[in-house]
Amino acid sequence: MELRHIELPNDLAAVTDAATSIFQYADRPEWSMQPDEQSQLTEGMQNFRRVWPLLRVLQPFSSQL
């Protein structure tokens, strides 16, 4: 299997889908991501995608750590 870097913002939907399915535990349902947590994650990723253009503009001005 080949691994590649995440391409933002194009991969945000795939990352969100993966996270909501990965954090489901059939043998421990109390550990699973609840519907409200899934919607919060989706909303957070949508907000991140919305501000992505601003982050790209500001990136050259940030310090490298």
**Residue-wise pLDDT tens digits, 1-53:** 899 999 988 998 899 889 888 999 999 999 999 999 999 999 999 999 999 99
The string of DSSP codes covering 16-64 is: HHHHHHHT--SS-GGGSPPHHHHHHHHHHHHHHHHHHHHHHHHGGGSPP
Token pair belonging to 65 = 């750590």
35 in any annotated domain: yes
25 in any annotated domain: yes
* pTM exceeding 0.75: no
Q: What is the predicted pLDDT for the residue at 61?
A: 87
Query: Which structural domain range is residue 26 located in?
Result: 12-50
For the chain, the farthest-separated pair of C-alpha atoms sits apart, in whole angstroms, at 47
Per-residue confidence at 63, pLDDT binned at 50, 70, 90? confident
7 in any annotated domain: no
64 in any annotated domain: no
56 in any annotated domain: no
Q: What total of structural domains would you count in the chain?
A: 1
Contact 31, 25 (CB under 8 A): yes
For residue 65, pLDDT over 60 is answered with no
63 in any annotated domain: no
2 in any annotated domain: no
4 in any annotated domain: no
Q: What is the predicted pLDDT for the residue at 64?
A: 67
